[in-house]
Amino acid sequence: MSSALSNRAAVKADSRPLWRWRPGAAVALVPAAAVLLAFWILPLAHLVLLGGESRGGAGSGYWQVLSSGQYLSSLAQTSVLAATVTLAALLVGSISGVFLARQRFFGRSALVALLTFPLAFPGVVVGFLVILLAGRQGVFAALGLGLVGERWVFAYSLAGLFLGYLYFSIPRVILTVMAASESLDASLEEAARSLGASHWRVTWDVIVPGLMPALVSCGAICFATSMGAFGTAFTLGTQLNVTPVAIYNVFTNYANFSVAAALSVLLGALTWAVLLVVRKWVRNAGGLL
């Protein structure tokens, strides 16, 4: 009888919430709530409403965007570019991150610092570096002029923008993969090798599944960053058909606030939807995002 009562008490204790709401502690949330309301919720609500306004009988900003092939092409091109950058960054960064996490050699710390140094650069500086590499007076232009008598220039195209986005996406992947690699259970790899698995089999069946939640989380961050990056695209040229540049052109050159707001909302909604799907997938897989 006493054992049954003790078991019931234990079950009741386990069913209690781990935290208790304290009204007095809610005061600590007031500054954060005020900042959130003033600098996020109210401007976002205004942006959403502004996109629904009509200008000159052309329909709302949302209708002008959704009925325009140019704006839809910009959204599609931005999404494809961001996805391509994300996949390339994951491929390069994951290999480098696993290697740096598991190998110890002279100059490793300096190499890690050098590889992650691009995180300190703003987008304008990254764009300038791309111009120095692949611009009209860049390294590739001089190389092409010396080899075939023609300058190789691609800094002001989507290829140059891809290179710039990749430049500041790889360091994020390297840091994330390094941290995730150090938490992997080495005994699983040893067990796989003892069963006769090859190096590539261990990598594909043990290491990759263990890193998958971290890779997906980091990939989502790289995708979101590439979708909204403006400084690099603006430095490389305002003729690039990507959504952040399109928002800038519509806002500054034509003062069409309704279309600019609609483009901003649609860009944010698209990015948010991707992040939401990835967040649910990672949570189901046992990761964090």
The residue behind tokens 């078991």 is: 7
Residue percentage of the chain with pLDDT more than 70: 88
Mean pLDDT of the 50-54 span:
85
Calculate the alpha carbon distances from 47 to 3, 21, 58, 231, 245 in Å: 62, 34, 19, 21, 18
Band the pLDDT of 13: cuts 50, 70, 90. Answer: very low
The mean pLDDT of the chain is 83
Question: With contact defined as beta carbons under 8 Å apart, do 171 and 118 qualify?
Answer: yes
pLDDT at 52 over 50: yes
Calculate the alpha carbon distances from 186 to 102, 190, 262 in Å: 11, 6, 50
Architecture of the domain made up of 61-285: Orthogonal Bundle (1.10)
Residue 270's region, left for phi above 0, alpha for psi from -120 to 50, else beta, is alpha
| Local structure of residue 54 (DSSP, 8 states) | B
Mean pLDDT of the 1-24 span:
50
**pLDDT number for residue 51:** 87
Query: Higher confidence at residue 284 or residue 136?
Result: 136
Q: How far apart are CA 68 and CA 288, in angstroms?
A: 38
Mean pLDDT of the 36-58 span:
84
pLDDT tens digits, 185-238: 778 878 878 887 777 888 888 888 888 888 888 899 899 999 998 989 988 876
**Global model pTM greater than 0.75:** yes
pLDDT tens digits, 149-193: 888 888 888 899 999 999 989 999 999 999 888 888 778 878 878
Query: Higher confidence at residue 2 or residue 68?
Result: 68
Mean pLDDT of the 104-133 span:
89
| CA quadruple 42, 47, 53, 59: dihedral, nearest 10 | -160
